[in-house]
Structure 1
Amino acid sequence: SLEDMATMINEAPETVAMKMDQMQKAHIINGYRALIDWEKAGVAHVQAIIELRVTPRRDCGFDEVAATIANFEEVDSVLLMSGGYDLSLVVKGTSFQDIALFVAKRLSPIEGVLSTATHFVLKTYKKDGVLYGDEMKDEREYQ
Structure 2
Amino acid sequence: MILVQLMKPFYTKYEGESIKMVFAYQYFSIRKDDELFHFIPVEGKEIILNAMTLQVENLSEVFVFQKGNRFIRLPLYQLLLVSDIHVHLQSILEEANQVDKQGVSIEGTDEVIKLLEQQNLERMIDFALITKDESLFNTLLQYKEFDGGINIE
Larger Rg: 2
TM-score (normalised: structure 2): 0.28
Whose helix proportion is higher, 1 or 2?
Answer: 2
